[in-house]
Amino acid sequence: MNIVVTGSIAYDYLMRFPGRFAEHLIGEQLHQVSLSFLVDEMTKQWGGVAPNIVYSLSLLGLRPKLMGTVGRDFGDYRTWLEQNGVDLSAVRQHEDVFTASFFANTDLDNNQMSSFYTGAMARARDYTLAEACPEPPDLVVISPNDPIAMMQLTEECRTSGIRFVYDPSQQVPRLQGDELRRSMQGAYAMVVNAYEAEIIGSKTGLTIDDMRGMIEILVITQGPRGSHIYVGDKRIDVDSFPTDKIVDPTGAGDAYRAGLLRAITAGLPLDVAGQMGALCATYVLEKVGTQNHRFTVPEFIARYRTQFDDKGELDRLLTDHE
């Protein structure tokens, strides 16, 4: 199956300030702030939602196509993704800007000061699926990105009759009710967490039942409590995959989507799809960063079977590699 994942592509610059911001924010001086925090720890991590999803999809044996816009500093990230089996032919590079970048500084109380520079991501609105993919894909994932690009991509999929998964997650706060309602219309699937589902409900006035009527598969993840998959008139409840080695809470949602999508492309049942999402999320939770986990397909299947019963269905992942 020819699958395209669109969304933000970014670097995350994560710093630790060995002090407390509160000690430097002086009440009567707040009208003229000029502060510099000396940090002695920084990591630069691969980030952005779309690369997180394609990274896990390629561990699961697919060669997904990443679609997005990047800047002149993309070189090392390109090499990393190429080495990991991602198809980068639909990544458009702009030499006059930097790749989107998240700069976060965290203090000893876990307070955070951060900025997100959109950079090349803002150019996503000038890039269509027709330009990116000469052959129409079988499935397009529309993940958080420039909000206008997200709306245009859903529209393009609807008018061209391309199956799409709508994944608004972090952009839910930025999107208006009518934009969300329009974008989810005709989606093959929508995946959100429980908090995002609540916000979408209050912004659009739609109930879960209304959304179920508009989308074939509605998935609402519930953190450690697992996920709910609504399809037809059924709700499938999926447990999370237990672990006692969580070191970093970020990236679970993106990895869950990769596991779920991998199963769907292999034609596996939806309960198995949710369980594959849960296991893939657990691998990410056990590592710092969102692309530092690693497994082979046989290792993934063996670990899945320590917890869930697929009745041999996952053997399909060993041979289905297109």
Ligand X SMILES: Nc1ncnc2c1ncn2[C@@H]1O[C@H](COP(=O)(O)OP(=O)(O)OP(=O)(O)O)[C@@H](O)[C@H]1O
| CA gap 10, 211 in Å, rounded | 31
From residue 237, alpha-carbon distances to 13, 213, 222, 228 in Å are 37, 19, 10, 5
| CA gap 2, 214 in Å, rounded | 24
Helices (H) and strands (E) in the chain, counts: 11, 13
Per rule CB under 6 A, is residue 246 in the interface with ligand X? yes
| CA gap 108, 264 in Å, rounded | 43
Taking CB under 6 A as the criterion, the residue among 171, 227, 265, 291 binding ligand X is: 227
Cβ 99 vs Cβ 73: under 8 Å: yes
**Interaction mask 159-178, ligand X, x per CB under 6 A:** ----------x---------
Q: Would the CA dihedral through 76, 82, 84, 87 be positive or negative?
A: positive
List 12, 146, 167, 254, catalytic entry:
254
Instruction: CB nearer to Mg ion: give 167 or 310.
Output: 167
The site partner of 71 among Mg ion, ligand X, none (C-beta below 5 to 8 Å per kind) is none
| CA gap 74, 58 in Å, rounded | 20
**Interaction mask 247-266, Mg ion, x per CB under 5 A:** ------x-------------
Is 320 known to be catalytic?
Answer: no
Q: Would the CA dihedral through 240, 244, 249, 250 be positive or negative?
A: negative
The two structure tokens encoding residue 170: 């972090």
The site partner of 252 among ligand X, Mg ion, none (C-beta below 5 to 8 Å per kind) is ligand X
Give the list of residues 6+ apart from residue 272 with CB closer than 8 angstroms, or none: 263, 308, 310, 313, 314
Burial (CB count <10 Å: 0-12, 13-18, 19+), residue 247: exposed
Per rule CB under 6 A, is residue 193 in the interface with ligand X? yes
User: Among 30-38, 176-184, 248-256, 312-320, which window interacts with ligand X (CB under 6 A)?
Assistant: 248-256
Instruction: CB nearer to ligand X: give 65 or 228.
Output: 228
Size of the site for ligand X (CB under 6 A): 23
Instruction: CB nearer to ligand X: give 93 or 222.
Output: 222
Instruction: CB nearer to Mg ion: give 120 or 220.
Output: 220
Q: Which residues, 94 to 153, sit near ligand X by CB under 6 A?
A: none
The site partner of 14 among Mg ion, ligand X, none (C-beta below 5 to 8 Å per kind) is none
Instruction: CB nearer to ligand X: give 145 or 282.
Output: 282
- Give me the residues paired with residue 230 across strands: 218, 235
Instruction: Give kind and range of the element (H or E) at residue 79.
Output: helix 75-83
Q: Residue 228: helix, strand or coil by DSSP?
A: strand
Least distance (Å) between residue 257 CB and ligand X:
9
Per rule CB under 6 A, is residue 282 in the interface with ligand X? yes
Taking CB under 6 A as the criterion, the residue among 57, 151, 281, 301 binding ligand X is: 281
Per rule CB under 5 A, is residue 105 in the interface with Mg ion? no
| CA gap 64, 80 in Å, rounded | 15
User: Among 28-36, 123-131, 243-251, 312-320, which window interacts with ligand X (CB under 6 A)?
Assistant: 243-251
Instruction: CB nearer to Mg ion: give 84 or 222.
Output: 222
11: left (phi > 0), else alpha (psi -120 to 50), else beta? beta
Per rule CB under 5 A, is residue 169 in the interface with Mg ion? yes
Q: Which residues, 194 to 223, sit near ligand X by CB under 6 A?
A: 221-223
Site residues, Mg ion (CB under 5 A): 169, 253
* Residue numbers annotated as active site: 254
Site residues, ligand X (CB under 6 A): 169, 193, 221-224, 226-227, 240-241, 243, 246, 249-254, 256, 278, 281-282, 285
